[in-house]
Amino acid sequence: MEQSFWVKLQRVKLHDILHIIYFILALPIALVYKQFRRDLWLICDNENEARDNGYWLFRYIVKKQPDQDVMYAINKKSPDYNRVKNLGKVVQYGSFAHWVFYLTASKNISSNKSGKPNAAICYALEVYGILRNKRIFLQHGIIKDDIECLHYKNTKMRMFVTSTKRECDYVSEAYGYPEGWVKELGLCRLDRLHGDHEVKRQIVIMPTWRKWIAHQTTDSYRYEDIKDFTNTEYFKYWNGFLKDETFLKMLEEEKIKVVFYPHREMQQFLDAFDIKDKNIVIASWPNYDVQELLKESAFLVTDYSSVAMDFAYMNKPLAYYQFDYKRFREGHLSEGYFSYEDDGFGPVCYNKEELIEAIMDSVKRDLENSDKYSNRHKDFFTKWDRQNCKRNYEAIKAI
């Protein structure tokens, strides 16, 4: 959903403006340093995280392509810092050194659009043509929707990774990238979803975020009164489902555990979910890893999150809980090519009764996927192997 200049301006902080000084001072150093590191690749995920496609690509390069000059940017206070420090070269995210390496690198690679020393300043430098570096977008998930901020006019990224033919065709046609710049390569993290891993009798619940709630601006009140999180539709529906007596009784009788893990942007509100049931865990980052939860769980409940794609990739059953579909489309993301009803990998539920029925139906099948959704899996995932990191590396190398 396109945001106005005024809404974006409200999020600019004094800290962002100070990074202009870093950029000015780092530029001449980088121009000299480029002569010594002509093919440096700088990779990152989230500032405080090494768990997404950037991490898995970095790991692949260090282990399989040791001659490639590569670094990873991360906050050294992050709980994930040791994961990358013990692999290869790292730089403090957002530091002056990060600016130097960002300007030095022949390729800047990230799973996040904001994966750079300072998102606000780099956006201005890149989108307005001041800085013409080669940036690779590894993707954060398989795209289903029309995400305006990822259109070429808003990124000027050199390569955009997709994972399926339908996704690749859609992004190529709708997002405005030059011909050949959108590649069907597969998410690097999907390599880790193959193979045998223990699946518990566990339901993982992963709702995505809502822009107007997580990042409140004057524009937020167009969609909902957000002065009190517990009065939001988001809280009422998810909390009501988690406390439903029929649902709790089913968990007890079927010996099923539940992990409730909202999107990182919504975890600031976790304390509002006062769930006492012994079978439900309210999970927080960084104590729980998204990929590990998806691998070990037998069933997923989400709303619009792209984690459904990772889960479906493993051919496991899921359900979508979409009580606020119209509002989500107005205030968060516009529709794309993907219809949840016609293309989705599980039933679409609009109230808790429908959701509980969908879960119970799956329990009757011993939490195995149905033929209907297994067939959709086969049709949708046109690349289903352990070669995603390899394809990404080779495509980046070829630029």
399 residues of the chain, pLDDT tens digit each: 555 444 444 455 667 788 899 999 999 999 999 999 999 999 999 999 999 999 999 999 999 999 999 999 999 999 999 999 999 999 999 999 999 999 999 999 999 998 999 988 898 899 988 888 899 999 999 999 999 999 999 999 999 999 999 999 999 999 999 999 999 999 999 999 998 889 999 999 999 999 999 998 888 888 998 899 999 999 999 999 999 999 999 999 999 999 999 999 999 999 999 999 999 999 999 999 999 999 999 999 999 999 999 999 999 999 999 999 999 999 999 999 999 999 999 999 999 999 999 999 999 999 999 999 999 999 999 999 999 999 999 999 999
Does residue 281 share a domain with residue 149?
A: no
Range of the domain at 329: 193-380
- Looking at the fold, whether 144 and 180 belong to one and the same domain comes out as yes
Cβ neighbours around 66 below 10 Å, total: 9
Q: Give yes or no: residues 207 and 172 share one domain.
A: no
Run of H or E including 136: strand 135-137
Regarding whether 230 and 135 lie in a shared domain, the answer is: no
73 and 177 together in one domain: yes
User: Could you give the number of structural domains in the chain?
Assistant: 2
| 262 shares a domain with 176 | no
Residues 166 and 215 in one domain: no
CATH value at residue 216: 3.40.50.12580
Say if residue 392 is in the same domain as residue 372: no
Whichever domain contains 18, its CATH number is 3.40.50
Same domain, 339 and 305: yes
Sheet of 135-137: strand order equals: 89-92, 70-74, 41-44, 107-110, 135-137, 159-162, 182-184
Q: Are residues 304 and 365 in the same domain?
A: yes
pTM of the model: 0.92
Q: Are residues 224 and 139 in the same domain?
A: no
**Residue 239: which of 292, 277, 210 has the closest Cα?**
277
- 227 and 366 together in one domain: yes
Contacts of 81 (CB under 8 A, 6+ apart): 50, 74, 75, 90
